Amino acid sequence: MSDTATTDTAMSELLTTSPDFVDIGAERTHELDRRHVFHSWSAQASLDPMVITRAEGSHIWDGAGNRLLDFTSQLVFTNLGHQHPRIVAAIQEQAAHLCTVAPQHANAARSEAARLISTHTPGDLDRVFFTNGGADANEHAVRMARLHTGRPKVLSTYRSYHGGTQLAINMTGDPRRWANDQGSTGTVHFFGPFLYRSPFHATTSEEECERALEHLAQVIALEGPSTIAAVVLESIPGTAGIMVPPAGYLSGVRELCDRHGIMLVADEVMSGFGRAGRWFACELDGVVPDLLTFAKGVNSGYVPLGGVAMSEAVAATFADRAYPGGLTYSGHPLACAAAVATIRTMEDDRVVEHAAALGDEVFRPGLEALLEDHAWIGEVRGTGAFWAIELVSDRETREPLAPYGGSSPQMAAIIAGCKRRGMLPFANFNRIHLVPPLTTSADEVREAIAVLGEALAEAAAAS
Ligand code: PLP
């Protein structure tokens, strides 16, 4: 037997017999969680987290053994579904070969991940700075924009989420900002386009586009163009409501930025890597940003990874001048190996094309039919595998079924009804988002839409 074969055998025995593999059962998991784990964005006392014991493809299993269709992709990151064998194998092989190296050294997994990402990012965004997730990607993109332009301010929209670190949460528009808002970090908010709840009293998407651009032009003029380093936009705002911008909006923002020497940062943390039926959602309007941030779908979230792809001009700023920033785990080999496997699988299996077809052929007709049948649905919108259902108590007034920043008994009943029927939806305020893995089948999407219809009917009858 060769040395390599001996090592391989030892490794596979180690993987199957490790005394540290944790299998303590659902009940003990829950008990220890409640005693020792501090959860995100929550008052801790009343939490009752669902234990997930197993997952495969588009399904998860809860602590009681129930199988649920995962139409959350967790936090919209398992773009290739759960336990994809190719990603799991890449992580295992990388772990067996070389678990970790410091960021100053070059590493094959990181180099190849950066090359693959660069083949799909638009325009000349061919250089990648790796981070651990989306918030720090946005932090670094803004730091780069500030140093590149020599200007302090950053503009972002109210209906947005850019992450939980200090600058990212101040750029965020949604209510998670309120308790963290220091108000002095150079972030300025404006209104992006959202025809259903138009801040501009528009009645058509053309009007919404024109007025939203006019509004941004005024904000830029009144803030002082020479003080603005960047406009940071989710190409499609995600958690804030999946508002696909009207045609011409992103390119109009690009034009405004060019006119004033402002960097355009596209936050593609949620909308990127196929979610919108394109590799990146900014492609929908043919826009090349100066900086593009990503995380989540880059490696299906199997190991934490995010990053900033930058233009040649931004990269050139730091050719002879040190970039003042870094992370211990920038471009971690395990995370990058997972990215390589994810991107190659997306290419080989035509996953982005599948997501686009799911959107056009299954989600759109299915959800539009649901809209006909349920008075609580005010609007359905989305693209690819990225859909929102806007729920209202009154279609005329468009009164949300739960207040902005809050929940309601009706929303709780709909979510519970979905779960009871075997489908986990992503819920935010008065919205249900259907955001499954991009590998979900057409039949699974039809099943989820049927479940949502039943849950809506049940909740409406009970209210
Ligand atoms: N940007 C967007 C658009 C996001 O949706 C998120 C997370 O949901 C983030 C940034 C922050 O990413 P992370 O939680 O990995 O820091």
- Taking CA atoms only, the protein residue closest to ligand 1 atom 7 is 163
| Cβ atoms of residues 295 and 269 within 8 Å | yes
Query: Ligand 1 centre from 280 Cα, in Å?
Result: 15
pLDDT of residue 170: 85
User: Which atom of ligand 1 sits closest to the CA of residue 237?
Assistant: 3
Mean pLDDT of 10-36: 82
| Residue located nearest, by CA, to atom 13 of ligand 1 | 134
* pLDDT for position 452: 98
- CATH number, span 15-83+350-462: 3.90.1150.10
How many residues are there in the chain? 463
Question: Model confidence over 379-433: pLDDT tens digits?
Answer: 999 999 999 999 999 999 999 999 999 999 999 999 999 999 999 999 999 999 9
* Model confidence at 294: pLDDT above 60: yes
Cα 59 to ligand 1 centre (Å): 23
With cut-offs at 50, 70 and 90, classify the pLDDT of residue 365.
very high
From 161, 169, 282, 302, mutation site for ligand 1 pocket: most ligand atoms within 8 A of C-beta: 161
CA distance 58 to 355: 14
On average, the pLDDT of the chain sits at 95
Beta-carbon neighbour count of residue 309 at 10 Å?
30
Inter-residue contact 318 to 91 (CB < 8 Å): no
Residues with CB under 6 A from ligand 1: 75, 133-135, 138, 161-163, 234, 238-239, 267, 269-270, 295, 306
Task: Give me the pLDDT at residue 169, please.
Answer: 84
* DSSP state for residue 197 in the 8-state scheme: G
Q: What is the mean pLDDT of residues 346-367?
A: 98
Confidence of residue 183 (pLDDT cuts 50, 70, 90): low
| Dihedral in degrees, nearest 10, Cα atoms 407, 410, 411, 417 | 150
Q: Which amino acid is at 292?
A: L
Residue 369 Cα to ligand 1 middle (Å):
31
Ligand 1 center–CA 405 separation, angstroms: 18
Residues 174, 177, 181: CA angle, nearest 5 degrees: 145
- Give percent above pLDDT 70 in the chain: 96
Alpha carbons 83 and 338: distance in angstroms, whole number: 11
Mean pLDDT is lowest, of 10-14, 149-153, 374-378, for 10-14
Query: pLDDT tens digits, residue range 42-96?
Result: 999 999 999 999 999 999 999 999 999 999 999 999 999 999 999 999 999 999 9
Q: Are strands 306-310 and 153-157 parallel, antiparallel or unpaired?
A: unpaired
DSSP string, 405-422: T---HHHHHHHHHHHHTT
For ligand 1, atom 10, name the residue with the nearest CA.
162
End-to-end Cα spacing for the chain: 70
Looking at residue 457, its pLDDT comes to: 98
Q: How confident is the model at residue 177 (pLDDT cuts 50, 70, 90)?
A: confident
Cα-to-centroid distance, 396 and ligand 1 (Å): 33
Is 7 a residue whose pLDDT tops 50?
no
The architecture in CATH of the region 87-348 reads 3-Layer(aba) Sandwich (3.40)
Q: Which atom, in ligand 1's list, is nearest to the CA of 304?
A: 15
Is a pLDDT exceeding 90 seen at residue 256?
Answer: yes
Rounded CA-CA distance 274/346 in Å is: 8
Which residues partner with 60 through β-bridges?
55, 68
Domain ranges of the chain: 15-83+350-462, 87-348
Please report the pLDDT score of residue 15 as a whole number.
54
| Residue of 72, 165, 269 to test ligand 1 pocket, by largest number of atoms within 8 Å of CB | 269
426 DSSP assignment: E
